[in-house]
Amino acid sequence: MLFSILLAVAASTLAAAHIVISYPGWRGNNLIQNDTFPYGMQWTYPCGGLGVTTNRSYWPTTGGAVAFQPGWFQGHQTAFLYINLGFGTDGPDGGPFNLSFPMVSPFQLLGPSKGPYPGTVCLPQVPLPANMTFNAGDNATIQVVELAQHGASLFSCADITFAEPGDERITKVDESNCFNTTDLGFADIYTITRKELGAAANMTTSGAARLWHRSSTTWSWLGYLPVVAGSLWFLL
């Protein structure tokens, strides 16, 4: 089934990577571009244009596996990935109203190319968000966000019902539904401080004026580049 979806997607003109969640059960196929979603469904917050599913997957109250395929369309040789949780059914789409509880630290995906690729990401033990606990029978939604190279975000979700570890209704996790392919790499995301917080607020008026003067002078000089280039072309 997934292979047939991939063939249909490859034939379309939409040029952006998309996610397929393979574990737990995906909310639904939103690899779609139509009149309602001319840019494609997965760009739509919070769950790629799909309302909550009635076919929920059971997932352990102590956390569990999340697996997905991030490169169904072209454009994602690199991307940032986020996995969040929301709970309840009071949102406009029938799912959680708030999906901003991080389950893991964001990380960078390193794909094999900018073209579509079949790689699979498996996180075998995704914990619950910090300081949160759930009981068997509680409903929640796992959100996977893929941040594209150009800054836009893709959203896809899996709706779950919590169950006690060992419950036979929880789909067994093995190499058939949760594995990492060798053509994918990962990197940590970190920051380098360029300016301390409050530095601009403490700057004097004269200091700000010097910065603006330097900046405006630079741009004024750059403005002559087309003229100079045109003159050189004329002399050749």
What's residue 168's pLDDT? 96
How confident is the model over 148-162, as a mean pLDDT?
A: 90
How confident is the model over 196-218, as a mean pLDDT?
A: 54
pLDDT band at 211 (very low <50, low <70, confident <90, very high): very low
Residue 127 and residue 176 in one domain: yes
At position 98, the amino acid (one-letter code) is: N
Residue 184 and residue 230 in one domain: no
Residue 76 and residue 156 in one domain: yes
How confident is the model over 146-155, as a mean pLDDT?
A: 86
What's residue 217's pLDDT? 42
Report the C-alpha gap between 56 and 53 in whole angstroms: 7
Residue 148 and residue 231 in one domain: no
In this structure, is residue 79 part of a structural domain? yes
Question: Could you list the residue range(s) of the whole structural domain that residue 229 is in?
Answer: 205-235
Choose from 33-47, 65-79, 112-126 the range with maximum mean pLDDT: 33-47
Burial of 114 per CB tally in 10 Å (0-12, 13-18, 19+)? middle
In this structure, is residue 156 part of a structural domain? yes
pLDDT digits (tens, 9 = 90+) for 49-93: 999 988 899 999 999 999 998 876 665 677 899 999 999 999 998
In this structure, is residue 130 part of a structural domain? yes
In this structure, is residue 199 part of a structural domain? no
In this structure, is residue 153 part of a structural domain? yes
* Residue 41 backbone phi and psi in degrees, to 5: -75, -35
Specify the residue for token string 């996995």.
Answer: 83
Beta-sheet strands, E only, within 42-184: 57-60, 64-69, 78-87, 101-102, 107-110, 121-126, 139-147, 153-163
In this structure, is residue 197 part of a structural domain? no
In this structure, is residue 195 part of a structural domain? no
B/e letters for 50-83, b = 16+ CB within 10 Å, e = fewer, are bebbeebbbbbbebbbbbbbbbbbbbbbebbbbb
Share of the chain above pLDDT 90, in %: 47
How confident is the model over 104-111, as a mean pLDDT?
A: 89
In the chain, the number of structural domains is 2
Residue 174 and residue 211 in one domain: no
| CATH number of the domain enclosing 142 | 2.70.50
In this structure, is residue 100 part of a structural domain? yes
